[in-house]
Structures are given as C-alpha cells and as structure tokens.
Amino acid sequence: VSTSPQTTIDEFRDEVGRNRFIRVNVAPGQFNIRYLATVEVQTSDANASAPETPLAELPGAILSYVQTSRYCEVEAVYRFAVRTFGNLPPGYQRVQSICHWVKDNVHYEVGSSTTTHGARDVLANRTGVCRDFAHLVIVLCRALNIPARFVTAYTKYEDPPQDFHAVVEAFLGDRWYLFDPTELAAISDLVRLGTGRDASDVPFATFFGAARLRRLSPLVEPAIGSETLVSLQTADAGILLAPEQARGGREI
C-alpha cells in the first residue's frame, strides 16, 4: 500500500478477524492511494445437491445471516419470497433459481441506485448494480431461512468498465457457496476483498468528512509479474467520477 502524499497507515481487523482494513487520516487537498497485490485464488466446486440446513441445526455463528441487516430488510420482502420461491425444492437449486429470477427481473443500470437503497427498493424499482443484485438475493434467501451474506470482490469483466464487484454467499449443508446473480464474471475468477452481512460491513472505502472519490482504477490481470500491473495502472487510468472539487459530506 502506498499513498501520495505519504501518510501513516493504520491496519486492523474486524472483531471476528475475517476482514482486514486500513485507515488513514488525510489532510485537505488531493490524496491518492494505491494497493498492489499478487493473490492465489482457491475456489471450491459447486454442489448442485447441497441441502438447506434447518435453523435448529445451524451453527450459532451463522444465525446472524438469516436476520435483517441495514440493506437487507427481511420482514419487508417475506411474503413475496415465500409466495415466489417457497414451493421450490430446497437446497442449492432454490438459491440458483433466486439468482436467475433476479437476473431476469432486475435491469442492470449504472447510477440507478444510491448508497441508501436497500433490497426493498431494488425489488420495487427493478433496477440496480451488482451491489443491489446481491442485496436482493441475500434478503430473499434469508426470508426462506437460508443464511446468506455479502462478498465484496475484485474480478475482471469487459462490460461494464472495470470496477469492484459484489456477489453472494449462501450457507448450504455444511459450508458457504458463492453465487453471482449478475453473471458478469466467472465465480472462479473472483478475488475476495471482504465478507459481511451486507455492503455496510464491507464497503471498498468509507469517507468521513468533506471527501469525494474522484477517480477509481481497479485492475485485475493474470499474474505474469507485478511490473505488468504497475505499467497498466497509470495515474489517469480508470473511471473519472468527479472532475471538480466536491462539497462536504459523508459517503460510503
């Protein structure tokens, strides 16, 4: 991790030790941060016959993933979930059916949602981005007592332009399985950044005070050497989000 101008970087983990965070206290003015890593991706094979686990048999630590969270309002969609998916055969195939329904019934549109939109809004508006697709799948699973959680990730896809990605994990049988309701990238290509109840637990960045993200430049390539990434990820690469200085506020 490197910054410009240089500043002290504080590293810490969440209470359960699942996610790693860095924190910086930035003076007024332009600030750049770069994170470069080579990672090994390990993906378990899907099991189409994986069963749902009864609530009474779930590990205690899993129970929070069937409850309401900030962006996943279980009670608000409970009747819809039961009416639409309650009679489907339980297990992996039911979660997959939920993902297919969301893909077929929600239009992927960049800029169609805000940081305050939850799964209920996505279901009502039928538009969103990967984060919204994930929240809707999570809340529909939870309404059926299927533990589900949010995964922030890197991946590589051609359309839309490179960005951070959001997918879903559902607990079936005795382990977690990844699902991508947007179908934008292969599950095997995902690089996990963080795991939580919803996006509020694992945003790729949180700003406090008068701050605005002006340029975003994620890049994922097969590991040939770190020099390849450094040469491709130039200062003016990526998505220009805010060409002018922003006014105050707090964004996640």
Closest listed residue to residue 132, CA positions, set 147, 142, 118, 148: 118
Q: Using CA atoms, how far apart are residues 44 and 168, in angstroms rounded to an integer?
A: 15
CA distances in angstroms from 206 to 157, 186, 199, 250, listed in the order given: 24, 27, 11, 8
Q: Which two tokens stand for residue 156?
A: 């590589």
Length of the chain: 252
Q: Rounding to the nearest 10 degrees, give the CA dihedral for residues 232, 43, 183, 207.
A: -60
What average pLDDT does the segment 158-184 reach? 89
pLDDT in tens, 101-146: 999 999 999 889 888 999 999 999 999 999 999 999 999 999 999 9
Sign of the CA dihedral 225, 228, 230, 233? Answer: negative
Q: What is the pLDDT of residue 156?
A: 79
Q: Using CA atoms, how far apart are residues 72 and 90, in angstroms rounded to an integer?
A: 21
Backbone angles phi, psi at 180, to 5 degrees: -120, 100
CB-side exposure of 32: number of CA atoms within 13 Å?
A: 11
Contact yes or no for 68/130 (Cβ under 8 A): no
pTM check: above 0.75: yes
Q: What is the pLDDT of residue 249?
A: 39
